[in-house]
Structure formats: structure tokens, C-alpha cells
Structure 1
């Protein structure tokens, strides 16, 4: 039981997301450089925002493809989230209040609820802090791991989580006696 449960990202999905990001960057470039009749400021702003946002997404997915890391690691200390750009890192068992499957906009997430609702926001800085703060307005959990990106079954992941979480609870109870 001392072994970590390592979940890799689905590489096919990463390739698809990188490609879709590239398509949106190209669409944004069209908005930036093609002359539109009438008001030319709004299409240029839309184009710039599209190029910046999807360009950053594309760079992230290319980085993941070139240097693959596990998306999620379940250890005896807790859950390490590396599934997205705003990764939470290690969330210790004693920081976790609950774990549940959450649906949002037709996508399922493994939602990790922490006792401190600002735990992940407080750990991040800069742009990631802003994105984490925006995430709290969308979903009730503090850590949200997209299930579609994980290369394992949800049953296997939930079993690994419950085994290690229960062991951690038992170890803390034994140590306190």
C-alpha cells in the first residue's frame, strides 16, 4: 500500500487540445489582421484576447506533450494535482474535507473540497492566483481535476484515493493515542 497511484494524462486528448488551441489562435489572427467594415476596434480586441488566451493554452499543451508528467498522483501524504495549468500541487489528506464527482458544462471533474476554501488560492500567485479565484466562482470545490484528461478509470482512481485516505486517517488516529 506504500506505492503511489500514478495517473498519466491521455496524450491523444492533449494532441487534440493543442490542435484546437492552434485553430483558435489562427482565428484570432484573422480577427487581428483582416479589415472589417465599420468598427475595427472590437474585432481587433477579440482577436488579441483570443490569440493570447489560446496561445497560452497551446504552449501549455505542447509542453505537456514534450515533457509528459503524471496528471494526478495519489500518495500516502495526499493527492498531487498536476492535471492543468493551475495545478494545485500536493493537497494533504488532513486538508481535505471531501471528494466528489462534479459536472459542469457537460464535463466531469474530480472535485476536492478543502477545509480552507482559500487554500489553493493562497498557495498560488500572479496569473495562476487570478485563474484559481475565477475557478471558485464556477465550481464549489477548491481543486477540480478534469476526468476526461485522465488515462485511468474513475473507479480505479476513487479506489486508490479511498484506500490511501483511510490509511492516513487510521495512522493519524493511531499516532494520537
Structure 2
């Protein structure tokens, strides 16, 4: 693998994500239009309808804005992983800070969690207080401040997960084996990726 390894955005997946968001917005509008005859569930249906409309409109705007940007969703370099795949991101996660990766399959998307030694240090890297609070929430609920959103990338989530695990193994070997030459390590890595 040559650095930087650039993971491209999948336009097809992005358009499908926008379409799914718009369908949920429509569902929210439909929910608001339901006549519940003043029953106790009317308030719940109204809240659900508005939440659908607000959250999925934001989702559609997010995916549409990412389509227009030339910025790649993910870059793997010799320094670490630069993640631009989601709205809440710590930017560059350095190899020396990474403990490992976890794959979490969720509906409607799969994510890759990057476990770091000091999550709070990555939370503090985020300037905006709301985004910082969301990242802190991710640490409490998922155990990680760095989450790669695989929804709109042009690589299968499983393949990306395996690639990241092998690259982390290589980087850890590189840092912990001063007696092994770089050409030998590169040969070992090339064998891993065959």
C-alpha cells in the first residue's frame, strides 16, 4: 500500500442515503397529517413527526453537502487516519494513539469505531461545544470518540475494517521493532495485502 491511501466517496451510496432521508422526511409529514382525534397519542405522533422531519432533513443536507465537497471521506497515511466521513470527527487519529478497531453493524449503516488510549484528548480537539458534547456522548455510549461512517464510501465496510486492522498491525510492528529494517517490514506488509 502506498501512502496516502485515499478512500473515495461513493456517489451511488450518497444518492441512496439522500433518498432514504427524504423518505423519512415524507414519513414525518405523513405522521403529522394523521388525524388522531385528540387522543393521548396525538402529542407523541406530533413529536415523532417533527423529529423525523428535522433529523432526516439534516441528514439529507449533510449527504448533499458532502457530495459537493472535493474532500475525501477517509485518508490513511503514515501518520494516521484522517476521517472526514461524518459530521463529528476528531480529524487526524494518530497510529500511536490507536488501541484497535471495532466493527459495529447498525441499521441503516455500519460504522468502524477507533479505540484510542486517551479518548478525552480527542474530545478536546473539537472546537465547537455542541460537537464536543456529541463526541463525549459517543465515548460514553460507544467507547470511542472517533467513528468512521461507512455509509457513503466506495469500499465495503468489512474490507475497510480488515485494511485498517492490518495497517495498525504494521504500524505497531514498525514502532516496536527497531531491529527490523523498513524494507523487511514493507515486504511483510505486502504479503499481508496479497
1:144 pairs with 2:144: no
CA RMSD, 1 decimal: 2.8
Q: Quote the Cα distance in structure 2 between the aligned partners of 1:105 and 1:2.
A: 31
1:84 aligns with: 86
Q: Quote the Cα distance in structure 1 between the aligned partners of 2:110 and 2:27.
A: 28
| Aligned partners of 2:13 and 2:153 also within 8 Å | no
Q: Quote the Cα distance in structure 1 between the aligned partners of 2:122 and 2:105.
A: 20
TM-score (norm 1): 0.78
1:13 aligns with: 13
TM-score (norm 2): 0.72
Give the total of aligned pairs. Answer: 171
Q: Quote the Cα distance in structure 2 between the aligned partners of 1:150 and 1:160.
A: 18
1:70 aligns with: 72
Name structure 1 gaps, 5 residues minimum. none
Match of 2:58 among 45, 56, 59: 56
| Aligned partners of 1:71 and 1:83 also within 8 Å | yes
1:44 pairs with 2:46: yes
| Aligned partners of 1:78 and 1:91 also within 8 Å | yes
Q: Quote the Cα distance in structure 1 between the aligned partners of 2:173 and 2:111.
A: 22
What secondary structure, in the 3-state scheme, does the structure 1 residue paired with 2:36 have? coil
Q: Quote the Cα distance in structure 2 between the aligned partners of 1:148 and 1:27.
A: 21
1:131 pairs with 2:134: yes
1:110 pairs with 2:112: yes
Name structure 2 gaps, 5 residues minimum. 180-194
Task: Give 1 or 2 for the bigger CA radius of gyration.
Answer: 2
Deviation at 1:30, TM superposition (A): 2.5
Moved more, 25-34 or 110-119: 25-34
Deviation at 1:94, TM superposition (A): 2.9
